[in-house]
Amino acid sequence: MLRIVALVCAALVCTASAGVAQDLPQLRAAMLKTGTVNWEIATIKEGGFDTANGFDLVVQDYADNAATRIAFEGGEADVVVADWIWVARMRAEGRDYVFIPYSKAVGGLVVKDNSGIESLPDLKGKKIGIAGGPLDKSWLILRAYAEQEYGFDLAGETEQVFGAPPLIFKAGLEGETAGAINFWHFLAKMKAKGMHDLISVTQAATALGLDPETPLLGYVLKGDYVATNPEVAKGLVTASRAAKDLLRDDDAAWAPLRDRMNADSDAEFAALVEGYRAGIPTDGPVDEGAAGRLLELMAGLGGEELVGKAMTLPEGVFLKLE
């Protein structure tokens, strides 16, 4: 009898929640199915942080980042996750896109614990695996750092192997490359399996006079959507912060996420949690001066192929809410 009552109550709660969601404006999110942002998205949905802040977050999963951007640009989605340098490029082309900070997590260059490699010049003549391609921002920052600190041409003095993150992960662990630059969550797993940072992007950025607190990834909305739905935009900011606070402060909040994190061991799981927490940006406006310096460095290293016409920071990249 008690079980029947519990089931009835649960059904009533679900029905009530569904009714509330139906009465709220939808925010259609195009998300990479395997992206780490889904940990935050799942927490927002599970905690009801979306409906509590006046909107219903409806997630559409896609296989790759290019597909999420196509959906966003084509009007099939209202929000997508991307880096603000892409937003700056789009604004320089006349597209009114705006950025809400999500994460400052960045990668680095890792080597095996027993490699004997102690500094970047020790990689001379060796292979480096790089996820993200020749214009990967971590790779560009590390190149600038190697030149400044050692007078070492990291691109010219090493052999680069570009590939998808899982391939770079495997090649690094199996010793097919002497070092690896990968997305932060792959690096967290690599370090849990016997690799360590030779140099992190945070260290390199600091040495270059950049601000490592500048968030790179964020939620991207269109300006006209924000103008039409200002309360939804504010709600997204608040919901995201509520999820971050919960994941930062409550270890138990990670238990429902473990399956989707693909952690093979407790050590990997702990490394992923630590990496996410380290990437939580401060709750406040982005330092646009610091962002501008980073963009100018990226423009100098990657040129128009990376930043398009955005050689300096366009006005309005970072969303400002009243």
pLDDT in tens, 166-183: 999 999 999 999 999 999
97, 221 contact by CB (below 8 A): yes
What is the pTM (predicted TM-score) of this model? 0.89
Q: Could you tell me which CATH class the domain 108-207 is placed in?
A: alpha beta
Quote the pLDDT of residue 2. Answer: 37
* CB neighbourhood size of 292 (10 A): 16
Check pLDDT > 70 for residue 274.
Answer: yes
The pair of three-digit structure tokens given for residue 238, joined into one six-digit string:
């608040």
Average pLDDT over residues 157-168: 96
Average pLDDT over residues 49-71: 96
Q: What band does 60 get if pLDDT is binned at 50, 70 and 90?
A: very high
Q: What band does 19 get if pLDDT is binned at 50, 70 and 90?
A: low
* Half-sphere exposure in the Cβ direction for 242 (13 Å, CA): 19
- Helix H segments across 77-136? 84-92
Average pLDDT over residues 149-156: 97
Average pLDDT over residues 272-276: 96
Check pLDDT > 70 for residue 3.
Answer: no
Phi, psi of 31, deg, nearest 5: -125, 145
What is the rounded CA–CA span in Å between residue 163 and residue 124? 20
Please, what is the average pLDDT of the chain? Answer: 93
Nearest to 218 by CA among 312, 96, 86, 94: 86
Check pLDDT > 80 for residue 31.
Answer: yes
Domains 20-104+213-261+280-286+302-307 and 108-207 share a fold: yes
Check pLDDT > 90 for residue 88.
Answer: yes
The pair of three-digit structure tokens given for residue 240, joined into one six-digit string:
């995201």
Quote the pLDDT of residue 228. Answer: 97
Quote the pLDDT of residue 227. Answer: 96
Fold of 20-104+213-261+280-286+302-307: D-Maltodextrin-Binding Protein; domain 2 (3.40.190)
Q: Where are the domains of the chain?
A: 20-104+213-261+280-286+302-307, 108-207
DSSP 208: T
Quote the pLDDT of residue 98. Answer: 98
What is the rounded CA–CA span in Å between residue 51 and residue 235? 9
Average pLDDT over residues 36-53: 97
Q: What band does 202 get if pLDDT is binned at 50, 70 and 90?
A: very high
